[in-house]
Amino acid sequence: MDISEIKKIVELMKEHDLSKFELEEEAFRLALVRGSGEEVRMIAAPAPAAAPAAPAPATPAAAVPAADVDDGSVEIKSPIVGTFYRSSSPDSDAFVKVGDTVDKDTIVCIVEAMKVMNEIKAETKGVISKILVENASPVMFGQPLFKVTPQ
C-alpha cells in the first residue's frame, strides 16, 4: 500500500464522516483513527503472525504490589504504535524526568511511526512519578509510558 492509497482512504473517511478505519493484509496492518476536529492518526504495524503465540502465564492478584493498584496516579499512554524516544536526538536532554512538573501541553516524549516523529503531550497536570518504558523501545497503542501524580 502506498501513500496515495492511504490519502484516498483518509478522504473517504472525511467524506463519509467515519472515525475509524482498519485494514489487514498478509504482512501489513493499517488503522486510521479520526476524532472531532482532529487530524487523522495513522497506526501501521506488521500483521500478527499466523500461528497464535502461547498465552502468558496469569499473574496472581497477590503478586501485584498494592502501590501499583490504586496510587491515584494517571498514566500517559501511547496513542500510536511505534518507537519511544525520551529526547529529540541522542545528544539532547530528555523531555521530562522523574520529579518534573507537567501540564496538558508539555511534550513528554516522541513516538516514531513510519519515519514520522510524533510529539506526545502529557494531556494532564501533575508530577512525573515513573517512566515505564526504556528509551528506543517499541511501544504499542495504549501502552502506558509514564505515571503522573496529579497536583
**Residue 14: phi, psi to the nearest 5?**
-65, -45
- HEC sequence for 57-114: CCCCHHHCCHHHHCCCCEEEECCCCEEEECCCCCCCCCCCCCCCEECCCCEEEEEEEC
How far CA 121 is from CA of 39, 106, 127, in Å, comes to 15, 5, 14
Is residue 54 situated within a structural domain?
A: no
Residues 41 and 79 in one domain: no
pLDDT at 38 over 50: no
Residues 18 and 78 in one domain: no
Q: What is the pTM of this model?
A: 0.55
Residues 29 and 93 in one domain: no
Is residue 98 situated within a structural domain?
A: yes
Residue 63: what pLDDT? 43
Q: How far apart are CA 103 and CA 147, in angstroms?
A: 13
Is residue 63 situated within a structural domain?
A: no
Is residue 79 situated within a structural domain?
A: yes
Is residue 50 situated within a structural domain?
A: no
Is residue 66 situated within a structural domain?
A: no
What is the tens place of the pLDDT at every residue in 124-144? Answer: 999 999 999 999 999 999 999
Residues 143 and 100 in one domain: yes
* Domain containing residue 134: CATH number: 2.40.50.100
Residues 144 and 85 in one domain: yes
Q: Kindly state the percentage of the chain with pLDDT values over 70.
A: 74
Number of structural domains (the chain) is 2
**Region 92-108 average pLDDT:** 95
Handedness of CA 90, 94, 98, 104 (dihedral sign): negative
Q: Which domain holds residue 109?
A: 72-150
